[in-house]
């Protein structure tokens, strides 16, 4: 058992090993998980969380790395969480080479962590917010959450962010793919990367059309900007940072940031509560109470709904 308070203090000082250890504790549902979360709570709430999603090949890692450089130039501490919902590996084994982004590896102001959540109890909804909490408590000013692949999990991850960035690249029918995956609705900022390639303007126009950006909006509404970048040469990356800051300022002005964070926290609590209740039912199962109920259902002396009532009543006594 480790001293959680001292780990938290070390993480606060920016010691990467302490951060790594804390993430491992929350990720693995260790016995110390609750202690860690309780200790970190008062230290959280300062980080600005940015989610980056997009199809494979659009340049998410390159863009993330370029954003890290830009934020570091401003003196901000940056956390990077790379989430791969389809990988059974965890702890950076798989994504390591790609996300460790050699240029930042020796920078103590950058903490990079990859996370795989396949088969994980509760999946992304459960694991990612806790890691974000650790990075927040460790004093990161900005946390970039990069997801691999496109799909429901990405939308889920994006819902963990203060600002969601959707990346596209010219050609590839990306616009349509994005629309299908439902990620078009989640973008606060859109980035057309690889803008030096043919079709970049067309992609931006198509996107502009799909998002209805040409249409009138109520005053005060957020109009998602479309930023063109060549992340591999850092072109346009400052524009992305500017768009992010603008979105953050808009959210603060309109109370949206606080509302998003409350909604995020509510979902987090709900997920933990349901998981806990499921576990309690599992315990009852061990107690043979569920078996006894099942026996009565099989014999026809009880129906499943009244049995469930008894099970729930059993929980609430526990």
- What is the rounded CA–CA span in Å between residue 275 and residue 129? 15
- What is the rounded CA–CA span in Å between residue 204 and residue 239? 15
Tokens standing for 60?
């998410």
Q: Coil, strand, or helix at residue 6?
A: helix
Element (H, E) at 272: helix 256-286
Q: Coil, strand, or helix at residue 113?
A: strand
Binding to a second copy, residues 235-294 (CB under 8 A): 258, 261-266, 268-270, 272-274, 276-278, 281, 285, 290-291, 293-294
Q: Shortest CA distance to 80 belongs to which of 140, 169, 13, 15?
A: 140
Tokens standing for 59?
């340049």
What does the DSSP 8-state code read for residue 228? E
What does the DSSP 8-state code read for residue 30? -
Tokens standing for 58?
């659009």
Q: Does 102 bind a second copy (CB under 8 A)?
A: no
- What is the rounded CA–CA span in Å between residue 318 and residue 310? 12
- Dihedrals φ, ψ of 87, to 5°? -95, 135
> Closer CB to a second copy, residue 162 or residue 206?
162
Least distance between a second copy and beta carbon 199 (Å): 34
Least distance between a second copy and beta carbon 286 (Å): 12
Contact 26/118 with Cβ under 8 angstroms?
Answer: no
> Closer CB to a second copy, residue 145 or residue 293?
293
Task: Report helix angle 4-12 to 33-40, nearest 10.
Answer: 50
Least distance between a second copy and beta carbon 85 (Å): 16
The window from 82-90, 209-217, 237-245, 295-303 that contacts a second copy (CB under 8 A) reads 295-303
Binding to a second copy, residues 190-209 (CB under 8 A): none
> Closer CB to a second copy, residue 234 or residue 281?
281
Q: Binder to a second copy among 3, 5, 6, 38 (CB under 8 A)?
A: 38
Any idea how long the chain is? 318
Binding to a second copy, residues 109-168 (CB under 8 A): 129-130
Q: Binder to a second copy among 5, 6, 34, 233 (CB under 8 A)?
A: 34
Least distance between a second copy and beta carbon 161 (Å): 15
Least distance between a second copy and beta carbon 226 (Å): 30
Task: Kindly state the number of chain residues that form the binding site for a second copy, as judged by CB under 8 A.
Answer: 53
End-to-end CA distance of the chain: give it in Å, rounded. Answer: 28
Strand partners, 113: 81
> Closer CB to a second copy, residue 249 or residue 274?
274
Q: Binder to a second copy among 105, 216, 218, 298 (CB under 8 A)?
A: 298
Q: Binder to a second copy among 9, 20, 33, 213 (CB under 8 A)?
A: 33
> Closer CB to a second copy, residue 172 or residue 302?
302
Which residues bind to a second copy, rule: CB under 8 A? 33-34, 37-38, 40-45, 129-130, 258, 261-266, 268-270, 272-274, 276-278, 281, 285, 290-291, 293-295, 297-309, 311-312, 315-317
């Amino acid at each position: 058992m480790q001293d959680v308070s001292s780990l938290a203090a070390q993480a606060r000082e920016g010691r990467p090993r302490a951060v790594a250890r804390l993430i491992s504790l929350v990720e693995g549902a260790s016995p110390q998980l609750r202690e860690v979360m309780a200790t970190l709570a008062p230290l959280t709430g300062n980080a600005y969380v940015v989610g980056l999603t997009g199809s494979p090949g659009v340049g998410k890692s390159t863009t993330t790395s370029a954003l890290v450089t830009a934020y570091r130039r401003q003196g901000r501490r940056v956390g990077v969480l790379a989430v791969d919902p389809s990988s059974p590996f965890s702890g950076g084994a798989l994504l390591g080479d790609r996300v460790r982004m050699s240029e930042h590896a020796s920078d103590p102001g950058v903490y990079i962590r990859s996370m795989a959540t396949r088969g994980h109890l509760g999946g992304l909804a459960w694991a990612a917010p806790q890691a974000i909490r650790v990075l927040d408590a460790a004093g990161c000013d900005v946390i970039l959450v990069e997801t691999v692949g496109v799909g429901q999990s990405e939308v889920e991850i994006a819902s963990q962010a203060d600002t969601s960035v959707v990346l596209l690249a010219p050609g590839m029918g990306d616009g349509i793919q994005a629309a299908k995956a439902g990620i078009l609705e989640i973008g606060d900022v859109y980035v057309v990367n690889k803008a030096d390639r043919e079709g970049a303007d067309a992609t931006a126009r198509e996107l502009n059309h799909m998002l209805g950006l040409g249409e009138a909006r109520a005053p005060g509404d957020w109009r998602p900007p479309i930023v063109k970048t060549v992340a591999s040469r850092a072109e346009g990356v400052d524009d992305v940072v500017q768009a992010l800051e603008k979105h953050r300022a808009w959210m603060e002005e309109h109370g949206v940031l606080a509302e998003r964070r409350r909604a995020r926290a509510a979902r987090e609590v709900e997920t933990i509560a349901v998981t806990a209740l499921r576990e309690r039912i599992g315990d009852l199962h061990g107690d043979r109470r569920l078996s006894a109920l099942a026996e009565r259902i099989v014999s026809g002396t009880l129906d499943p709904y009244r049995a469930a009532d008894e099970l729930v009543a059993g929980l609430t006594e526990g």
